[in-house]
Structure 1
């Protein structure tokens, strides 16, 4: 993108057609975009124009056009324009389980800095970071995710050997939580489903999927809320249907996960 081309004056977010386990967006913001928040997916993107600034792991990071961003699951971050020009970017949000399909139970790759110019990641993200209007075919997506998973592991220096932990137990817990996310799930249930004690299972889950079982459950509820809001469901009805105690309970979790209130998110995403 030509950086001399002025960016639109309004903030906007464009979303691609949903794909299981992955979300693709393109957005433009001026000033402050997102408050501090954290989600349970990888956030991997490319700055297209302007300076994309964010606080991440105790430091401010600045991404310039062409840089690749890699934010690890459950790491707090915010987002704002580094200059008065504003910034434009594309981002994909990938469930760690999709990378585990390729890594087969290896430790999740972690890039410390959050911003990189490594050509391996630039190449590996080229398919998934195309214009949101581009339709990615299923086989194309699977191949691109595998390439990205291995590129992340190579750049991060992730050991080839599998770490200690029960990957199958963690995967069973994830599948159970996914199927029962609209109701309260107890630790006793997870122990019974996985034949793993709660403390070991919590460690396994974080090791292989980057977050805790409760955070995973909460994020699936919030995913449901976002789908319902885009379909025109009221905040109160969406909160109840997704399994939250009430609207205020949902709103608190929503802001912590996405850095925006539900109403503000809908105003931008639904425009």
Structure 2
């Protein structure tokens, strides 16, 4: 753990095919307005974590649970002069949908909940970042989380509407398989048998974002992994399927509120 209250840091555990977990400290301003296509679920360990969410400044403190909905714009800063320390896990809506099977994505109205059931349900996922978790332990925790979120949330989409969950899931898997290539709605239509506009609508409602943005975020996942391994910005961008570094950087800032060079500077592997 860092002792200095003037040094911003992020410790991350990227786990392919599982979840990204981070623990971080920021002494003042943290993130510019940005949005990602996952749920960002976390808790503030010390200080006050302030962020704009749906036009209102929210303040997360100890005992609360943050639940940032996919594709909702937000930023981040310290609500006090002491800075803030927090843990966060990023969960793809597809993981929640694999449990809820096409139900409306759970939505927490203000991005913060004081429900003790939700706080307890996140204990396993938000434990010390250095702790090892068995796959089954993690999967059980995600199931418990999905069920609690579904129980306490406001609906994020109409309850009565016809959705083709299987076609949307097939499109999502197709994007994963060829994420470094250019993909069109025509490609997705041919792969799923679902007309492109219905598929595009279903994808947004079931997974919280558009097919193109989902593709972009999977490329950015690869960029982050490459940067952690020491790749240059140029190589990370090209290898992930972006046209060039500036193309990647623009999307990176929009997704994470930091430039890729700044993200790389403050990011660390967990201490042993």
Which bracket does the TM-score occupy, shorter chain normalised?
A: over 0.9
The correspondence of residues 137-148 of structure 1 with structure 2, limited to 5 A, is 137-148=134-145
Structure 1 unaligned blocks of 5 or more: 1-5
Q: Encode CA deviations 1:191-241: one digit per residue, 9 max, x unaligned.
A: 101111111111100111110000000000000011111111111111111
Structure 1 residues 114 and 157: CA distance shift in structure 2, 3 A? closer
Task: Please state if 1:68 is matched with 2:65.
Answer: yes
Q: Encode CA deviations 1:134-165: one digit per residue, 9 max, x unaligned.
A: 11101101100000001000010559x77421
Partner residue, 2:27: 30
Partner residue, 2:179: 181
Structure 1 residue 20: deviation in Å? 2.0
Structure 1 residue 85: deviation in Å? 0.8
* Aligned residue pairs, count: 266
Task: Please state if 1:266 is matched with 2:264.
Answer: yes
Tell me, in whole angstroms, the C-alpha distance in 2 between the residues paired with 1:7 and 1:64.
21
The correspondence of residues 1-271 of structure 1 with structure 2, limited to 5 A, is 8-16=5-13, 18-158=15-155, 163-270=161-268
Greater shift in the superposed pair: 191-200 or 216-225: 191-200
Structure 1 residue 97: deviation in Å? 0.8
Partner residue, 1:3: none
Tell me, in whole angstroms, the C-alpha distance in 1 between the residues paired with 2:258 and 2:114.
29
Partner SS for 1:241: helix
Structure 1 residue 105: deviation in Å? 1.4
Tell me, in whole angstroms, the C-alpha distance in 2 between the residues paired with 1:214 and 1:97.
16
Task: Normalising by structure 2, report the TM-score.
Answer: 0.94
Tell me, in whole angstroms, the C-alpha distance in 1 between the residues paired with 2:55 and 2:193.
38
- 1:7–1:86 CA contact under 8 A, matched in 2: no
- 2:171–2:192 CA contact under 8 A, matched in 1: yes
Structure 1 residues 100 and 22: CA distance shift in structure 2, 3 A? same
Structure 1 residue 7: deviation in Å? 7.0
- 2:109–2:154 CA contact under 8 A, matched in 1: no
Structure 1 residue 95: deviation in Å? 0.6
Greater shift in the superposed pair: 17-26 or 119-128: 17-26
Structure 1 residue 262: deviation in Å? 0.4
Structure 1 residue 25: deviation in Å? 0.7
